[in-house]
């Protein structure tokens, strides 16, 4: 069974402009599926739909949309509250905007876990989680406010928070956009190892082909709301990306 399966998804606004048109997608367990495309290609709308957070002025139509084996339309509001941040986690693209600037990192993580995974809402568990993502001085970090941490440290903390709740699906939205090359490499390696050790399915939203080459098992290419190409990468063999569009994908977000 696929963790997520979509057939013929269309997202359109009130003027019937189609943001996504006839989109098919499947996420296998223990796999990394990259969704790549330029700004305006529909990546964000697709990601928002997974969390049932599509803008209220947008309409969704589909033939099939199942999440964790259950039909999309059968989930209640309470069900979605229980899914988000528990069974489906998000790694946002801008770590600096993801934390309150004047509250300690430890307090913010603890408050998050109180909502999503109560047994982790204690200092001992949080310190262990920070160690797993190679935070050097975990006690100092725990008591620090965000401005005293690097972008790479904050992004790794967001990854730790997303994965610690033991989700089945993780959506990573441009997870290394704000990082330098050294932190990008470290973050990608950590993300890969944490996911593969837990059997989680990852949806990787990106425009960066280097990340796709590094991580992806499957690739979906979007352009202007249309699905241009779908590829399964064998042994990360980027020669599988045959189309002219894919070959020139060094996209600007």
Q: What is the mean pLDDT of the chain?
A: 87
- What are the pLDDT digits (tens) for 116-155? 999 999 999 999 999 999 898 999 999 999 999 998 899 9
Residues in Cβ contact with 210 at an 8 Å cutoff, skipping those fewer than 6 apart: none
Question: Where exactly are the structural domains of the chain?
Answer: 4-247
- CA pair distance 180, 88, nearest whole angstrom: 27
pLDDT at 247 over 70: no
- CA pair distance 64, 118, nearest whole angstrom: 34
Burial class of 25 by CB neighbour count within 10 A (0 to 12, 13 to 18, 19+): buried
Q: List the structure tokens of 127.
A: 């310190």
Q: What is the pTM of this model?
A: 0.86
Per-residue pLDDT at 58? 92
pLDDT-based confidence at residue 239 (cuts at 50, 70, 90): very low
- CA pair distance 125, 122, nearest whole angstrom: 6
- What are the pLDDT digits (tens) for 39-97? 888 888 999 999 999 988 999 999 999 999 999 999 999 999 999 999 999 998 888 88
User: For 4-247, CATH number?
Assistant: 3.40.50.300
Q: 3-state secondary structure string, the chain? A: CCCEEEEEEEEECCCCCEEEEEEEEEECCCCEEEEECCCCCCHHHHHHHHCCCCCCCCEEECCEEEECCEEHHHCCHHHHHHHECCCEEEECCCHHHCCCCCCCHHHHHHHHHHHHCHHHCCHHHHHHHHHHCCCCCHHHHHHCCHHHCCHHHHHHHHHHHHHHCCCCEEEEECCCCCCCHHHHHHHHHHHHHHHHCCCCEEEEEECCHHHHHHHCCEEEEEECCEEEEEEECCCCCHHHCCCHHHHCCCCCC
């Amino acid at each position: 069974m696929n963790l997520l399966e979509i057939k013929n998804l269309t997202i359109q606004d009130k003027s019937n402009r189609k943001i996504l048109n006839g989109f098919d997608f499947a996420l296998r367990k223990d796999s990394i599926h990259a969704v790549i495309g330029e700004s305006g290609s529909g990546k964000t709308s697709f990601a928002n739909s997974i969390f049932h957070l599509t803008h209220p002025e947008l309409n969704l139509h589909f033939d099939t949309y199942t999440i964790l084996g259950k039909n999309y339309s059968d989930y209640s509001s309470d069900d979605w509250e229980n899914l988000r941040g528990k069974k489906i986690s998000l790694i946002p693209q801008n770590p600096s905007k993801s934390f309150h600037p004047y509250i300690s990192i430890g307090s913010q993580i603890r408050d998050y876990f109180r909502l999503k995974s109560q047994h982790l809402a204690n200092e001992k568990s949080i310190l262990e989680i920070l160690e797993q993502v190679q935070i050097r001085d975990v006690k100092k970090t725990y008591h620090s406010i965000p401005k005293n941490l690097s972008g790479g440290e904050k992004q790794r903390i967001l990854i730790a928070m997303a994965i610690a709740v033991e989700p089945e699906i993780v959506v990573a939205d441009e997870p290394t956009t704000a990082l330098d090359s050294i932190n990008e490499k470290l973050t990608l390696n950590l993300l890969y190892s944490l996911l593969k050790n837990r059997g989680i399915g990852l949806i990787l939203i990106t425009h960066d082909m280097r990340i796709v080459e590094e991580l992806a098992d499957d690739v979906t290419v979007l352009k202007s709301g249309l699905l241009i190409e779908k590829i399964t990468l064998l042994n990360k063999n980027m020669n599988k990306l045959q189309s002219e569009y894919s070959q020139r994908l060094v996209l600007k977000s």
